Structure 1
Amino acid sequence: MVTTLQYFVSTIRLNFRIHKQEEESSSSSNNMFTASAGNSTLEVGGEFVFLQTLIDCLLRMKPNKQDINELICELEKKYENNTTMLNCLHNFHDTYSRDKTIYWYSKESFFYETINTALRQQDIHTMFLWRSFLFDMYHQLRELQSEQKIKVYRGQNVSKRELETLKKRIGKLISVNSFLSTSIDRTMAAFFADSGAKSDDLAPVLFEIEADPLMVDTKPFADISKHSQHPDEQEILFMFGSIFRVVKIHQEIEPVWIIEMKLCDDDDEDVQEVLEYMQKQNGKGETNLQTLAKLMWQMGHHDLAKKYYVHFLKDLQSDDALQLSVYEDIAAIESQKGDYNGSMKWKQKALEFERLNTAFHSNNSRVPTIHSSARWARKAITVAGGHGLGKGLNQLYLPEGLIVDDDRTVYIADWWNNRVMACKQNEIEGCIVVGENRDELEELFRPSDLIIDKEQDCFIISDNGKRRVVRCSRENTVTSVETILDNILCWGLTIDDEGSLYVTDIEKHAVRRYRRGENMTTGTIVAGGNKRGKLNNQFNTPLYVFVDSEHAIYVSDHENHRVMKWVEGATEGIRVAGGQSAGQDLAHLWYPNGIIVDKEGTIYIADSQNHRVMRWHQGEPQGELVAGGHGQGENDDQLNEPKSLSFDNNGNMYVTDKNNHRVQLFSIH
Structure 2
Amino acid sequence: MGVFNERAALASSITHSIELVDKQSAIFALYNTNKQKSTRNLSRESGSFIFLQLVKQVLHKMSSSEEATKTSKREMLDTCRLYYRGNKKAMEDIDKFELEYTSDQAIKWYTENSFIYRLINKALRTEDINALYTYRFYIVDLCTCLAEQSKELYDSASNMHVYRGVRMPQKEIERLRESVGHLISVNAYFSTSRQLNVSEAYAGIGSTNISSDLGSVVFDIEVVLEEYLTTIVADVRHLSRFRDEDEVLFDIGTVFKIQSMKYNEQQNYWQCRIITTDEGRAIAKEYIDLKQIELNGSNDIESTFGDLLFEMGEWLKSRTYFQNVAERRPNDPYILFGIGRSHYNFCESDQAMSYFRTAYDLCMKDNDKRLTLAATICRYMCRVHEDC
TM-score range, shorter chain: 0.7 to 0.9
Q: Please state how far the C-alpha of 1:166 moved relative to its aligned partner.
A: 0.5
Letter paired with 2:143: Y
Residue 80, structure 1, aligned to residue 82, structure 2: no
How far apart are 1:81 and its partner, in Å?
A: 1.0
Q: Match for 2:85: what amino acid?
A: E
Matched residues in 1 for 2:108 and 2:161: separation? 24
Q: CA RMSD in A?
A: 3.3
Could you tell me which residue of structure 1 aligns to residue 236 of structure 2?
A: 224
CA contact (8 A) 1:36 1:42 kept: no
Provide the rounded CA distance (Å) in 1 between the counterparts of 2:87 and 2:260: 45
- Residue 131 (structure 1) aligned with residue 136 (structure 2): yes
- Residue pairs, 1:288-437, within 5 angstroms: 289-316=302-329, 322=332, 324-350=333-359, 353=362, 357=365, 368=367
Distance 1:80 1:160, change over 3 A: same
Tell me the alpha carbon deviations over residues 231-255 of structure 1, each in whole angstroms, 9 at most, x when there is no partner. Answer: 5542111112211111111133241
1:180-191 mapped onto 2 (5 Å cutoff): 180-191=190-201
- 1:33, 1:175 within 8 Å by CA — same for their partners in 2? yes
Q: Determine the structure 2 residue equivalent to 1:175.
A: 185
CA contact (8 A) 1:62 1:288 kept: no
What is the distance in 1 between the residues matched to 2:61 and 2:323? 17
Residues 33 and 305 of structure 1: is their aligned pair in 2 closer, same or farther, counting only changes over 3 Å? closer
- Structure 2: give runs of 5+ residues left out of the alignment: 1-12, 374-388
Residue in 2 that maps onto 1:276: 286
SS at match of 2:119: helix
> Judging changes above 3 Å, is the alpha-carbon distance between structure 1 residues 41 and 347 closer, same or farther for their aligned structure 2 residues?
closer
Partner of 1:21: 22
Q: Where does residue 141 of structure 1 map in the other structure? A: 146
Residues 166 and 150 of structure 1, relative CA distance in 2, 3 Å threshold = same
Q: Which residue number corresponds to residue 380 of structure 2? A: none
Return the offset for 1:352: 5.0
Give 1:201's aligned amino acid: D
- Cα shift at 1:229: 4.0
The residue type equivalent to 1:34 in the other structure is A
Aligned to 2:3: none
In structure 2, the partner of 1:32 is: 27
Separation of aligned partners in 2, 1:334 and 1:189: 46
Partner of 1:114: 119
Q: Secondary structure at the match of 1:204?
A: strand
Does the CA contact (< 8 Å) of 1:328 and 1:347 recur in 2? yes
Cα gap change, 1:18 to 1:152, in 2 (>3 Å): farther
Pairing 1:391-540 to 2, within 5 Å after superposition: none
CA drift of 1:217 comes to: 4.5
Report the residue type matching 1:209 in the other structure: I
TM-score, structure 1 normalization: 0.46
TM-fit CA distance, 1:211? 0.4
- Structure-2 change in CA distance of 1:240 and 1:309 (3 Å): closer
- Cα distance, 1:198–1:288 mapped onto 2, change above 3 Å: same
Distance 1:78 1:114 in 2: 9
User: What's the CA shift string for 1:562-604, capped at 9, x where partnerless?
Assistant: xxxxxxxxxxxxxxxxxxxxxxxxxxxxxxxxxxxxxxxxxxx
1:206 aligns with 2:215: no
Equivalent-residue separation in structure 2 for 1:313 and 1:22 (angstroms): 35
* Structure 1 residue 107 displacement after superposition: 0.8
Gaps of at least 5 residues in structure 1 are: 1-11, 26-30, 358-366, 369-646, 654-669
Name the counterpart of 1:95. Answer: 100
Structure having the larger proportion of residues in strand: 1
Higher helix share: 2
* Partners of 1:142 and 1:351 in 2: CA distance: 42
Q: Alpha carbons of 1:82 and 1:91: their partners in 2 closer, same or farther (altered >3 Å)?
A: same
Q: C-alpha distance in 2, partners of 1:191/1:36?
A: 29
Identity %: 23
Higher relative contact order (CA 8 A, sep 6+): 2
Q: C-alpha displacement at 1:133, in angstroms?
A: 1.9
Contact 1:225–1:233 under 8 Å retained in 2: yes
Do the aligned residues in 2 keep the contact of 1:88 with 1:109 (CA within 8 Å)?
Answer: no
Displacement of 1:353 in angstroms is 4.4
Structure 2 residue matching 1:210: 3-state secondary structure: strand
The SS at the match of 1:200 is coil
Change (3 A) 1:273 1:87: same
Contact 1:152 / 1:236 at 8 angstroms: preserved in 2? yes
Residue 251 (structure 1) aligned with residue 263 (structure 2): yes
Structure 1 Cα separation of the partners of residues 74 and 299 of structure 2: 22
Range 292-301 or range 331-340, more displaced? 292-301
Provide the C-alpha distance between the structure 2 equivalents of 1:273 and 1:351, rounded to a whole number of angstroms: 32
For residues 94 and 225 of structure 1, the distance between their equivalents in structure 2, rounded to whole angstroms, comes to 25
Distance in 2 (alpha carbons) for counterparts of 1:189 and 1:352: 58
How many residues align? The count is 340
Query: 1:89 Cα shift?
Result: 1.1
**Aligned counterpart, 2:378:** none
SS of the residue 1:272 aligns to: helix
Partner of 1:144: helix, strand, or coil? helix
Q: TM-score, normalised by structure 2?
A: 0.76
- 2:162 pairs, out of 134, 138, 152, with 152
Q: CA deviation at 1:150?
A: 0.4
1:293–1:309: 8 Å Cα contact kept in structure 2?
Answer: yes
Distance 1:236 1:88, change over 3 A: same
Change (3 A) 1:338 1:161: same
| Residues 1:347 and 1:247: Cα distance change in structure 2 (over 3 Å) | closer
Question: Tell me, what secondary structure is at the counterpart of 1:338?
Answer: coil
**3-state SS of 1:181 partner:** strand
Inter-partner Cα distance in structure 2 for 1:250 and 1:316: 51
User: How far has the Cα of 1:169 moved from its partner?
Assistant: 0.8
